[in-house]
């Protein structure tokens, strides 16, 4: 792949609209790359399509050489040559807006799998159903072998992914150890501010709704009493339909039960104060 490199560049980015795509012989395209200021008949014939509107948007031609994937954006400003031009190393997405949209969705899906997984998964691997991926990233991968194949290839190109397994309904990724960080409870709560988060324990303590803490008037000194819980490392995290379940590392069931009683007491205090204000 080729592109241009300018010494001491000053990038001036512009909005643009492609009004027409022109395909020319590859020899003529190569000549245009070497001498972009040369008058061209196809520019003269289409110069009414090229202009800069009142919003500063460049309306231009996309010029492509036959058998090539690169191209040139041209805005002639009324002339017969490329007065304003920009080299494009890969024009496929520009030529097909629907392909550009799908590429963006695939890239977003890969980012979701990698970034969300590393942020919210304490395990070395993560299993993800395509149904969940579709709801989170908006891409219909389920029952689409072509998109599944593309998604798999893009994931394998990411340095964060050590291994990948995929079937018709789901995928399992293994993350590289150097990219994995184990978050604390507070970090997970901040990253999922509008999600119900429940603390669980192998010794059944029920489901402790820790995310209600944000809605309670709890002072810093009171929170310091529970620093061992709020600052504890997350041992496991699971996303359920009703919210997120978290098991903490090195926090006893008895300590969690005391924390639950503290939250209940804070809720009762808040409810009492609200009732008193209404009287």
Query: Residue 213 pLDDT > 80, yes or no?
Result: yes
Q: Which domain holds residue 232?
A: 185-278
Is residue 4 one of the residues assigned to a domain?
no
C-alpha atoms less than 13 angstroms from C-alpha of 254 in its C-beta half-sphere: 0
**pLDDT of amino acid 16:** 94
With cut-offs at 50, 70 and 90, classify the pLDDT of residue 277. low
Domain boundary among 93, 126, 157: 93
- 54 within a domain of the structure (yes/no): yes
Does residue 11 form part of some domain?
A: no
272 domain-assigned:
yes
Residues 88 and 101 in one domain: no
In a domain, 249, yes or no: yes
Residue 153, pLDDT > 90, answer yes
- Domains in the chain: how many in total? 3
Residues in the chain, how many?
A: 279
Question: Average pLDDT, whole number, for the chain?
Answer: 88
Query: What is residue 76's predicted lDDT score, i.e. its pLDDT?
Result: 95
74 and 112 share one domain: no
Burial of 75 (0-12, 13-18, 19+ CB in 10 A): buried
In terms of domains, do 82 and 103 share one?
A: no
Domain for residue 58, yes or no?
yes
Query: Are 118 and 163 in the same domain?
Result: yes
pTM: 0.61
**Tens-place pLDDT, residues 116-146:** 777 766 667 888 899 888 888 888 888 888 9
User: Per-residue pLDDT tens for 21-73?
Assistant: 999 999 999 999 999 899 999 999 999 999 999 999 999 999 999 999 999 99
Residue 27 contacts residue 67 (beta carbons within 8 Å): no
Contact between 52 and 16 (Cβ < 8 Å): no
Residues 171 and 238 both lie in one domain: no
């Amino acid at each position: 792949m080729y592109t241009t490199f300018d010494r001491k560049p000053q990038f001036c980015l512009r909005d643009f609209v492609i009004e027409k795509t022109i395909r020319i012989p590859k020899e003529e395209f190569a000549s245009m790359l070497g001498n972009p200021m040369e008058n061209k008949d196809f520019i003269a014939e289409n110069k009414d399509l090229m202009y800069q509107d009142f919003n500063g948007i460049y309306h231009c031609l996309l010029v492509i050489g036959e058998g090539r994937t690169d191209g040139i954006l041209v805005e002639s400003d009324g002339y017969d040559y490329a007065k304003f031009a920009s080299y494009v190393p890969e024009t496929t997405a520009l030529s097909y807006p629907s392909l550009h949209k799908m590429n963006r969705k695939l890239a977003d899906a890969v980012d979701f799998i990698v970034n969300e997984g590393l942020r919210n998964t304490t395990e070395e691997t993560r299993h993800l159903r395509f149904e969940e991926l579709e709801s989170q990233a908006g891409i219909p991968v389920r029952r689409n072998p072509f998109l599944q194949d593309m998604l798999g290839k893009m994931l394998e190109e990411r340095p964060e992914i050590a291994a990948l397994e995929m079937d018709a309904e789901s995928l399992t990724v293994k993350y590289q150890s150097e990219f994995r960080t184990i978050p604390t409870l507070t970090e997970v709560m901040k990253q999922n501010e509008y999600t119900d988060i429940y603390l669980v324990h192998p010794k059944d303590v029920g489901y402790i709704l820790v995310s209600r803490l944000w809605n309670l008037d709890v002072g810093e000194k009171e929170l310091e009493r529970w620093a061992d819980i709020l600052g504890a490392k997350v041992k496991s995290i699971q996303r359920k339909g009703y919210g997120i379940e978290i098991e903490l590392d090195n926090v006893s069931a008895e300590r969690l039960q005391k924390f639950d009683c503290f939250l209940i007491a804070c809720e009762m205090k808040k409810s009492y104060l609200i009732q008193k204000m209404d009287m």
